[in-house]
Each structure stands twice: as C-alpha cells, then as structure tokens.
Amino acid sequence: MANMDELKGRTKEAAGDLTDNEDLQREGKVDQTKGKAKEKIDEISEKVKGFVTKD
C-alpha cells in the first residue's frame, strides 16, 4: 500500500526531526519516495489495464 509507505515515512522523518536522528530522517524520506513511486506505478498500471481492455 503506497499511502502506508508515505505515512510511515512521514512518521519516521518527524521522529528523526524531534530526536535529531539524521538516519531516521533519511529513512523517512526514502519510505516517502518509495510510497510515491508505488503510487505512480499503480496509476500507470490502471491506465494500461484500461487501454488493453478497451478493445
């Protein structure tokens, strides 16, 4: 679930900000990026499915 990755990333980044933990901040940013990438892949997949089933 892409949104869960983004939420987890935001939470990690916020925790890293509060604790001055740069590793946790970085992990949070990576998780957010992963979630956004998954979201885009899902969007593209849906468009392809629509195009393929259109015929």
Residue 43 structural domain:
2-54
pLDDT > 70? residue 13? yes
- Predicted pLDDT of residue 17: 97
Q: Check residue 55 and give its pLDDT.
A: 56
User: Residue 34: is its pLDDT beyond 70?
Assistant: yes
Entry pTM? 0.79
Share above pLDDT 70 across residues of the chain, in percent, rounded to a whole number: 93
User: Residue 31 class from Cβ within 10 Å (0-12 exposed, 13-18 middle, 19+ buried)?
Assistant: buried
Residue tagged 């259109």 (tokens): 54
DSSP E strand boundaries for the chain: none
Query: Which pLDDT score, from 0 to 100, does residue 52 have?
Result: 83
Q: Which helix (H) or strand (E) holds 9?
A: helix 2-19
**Number of structural domains in the chain:** 1
pLDDT number for residue 39: 93
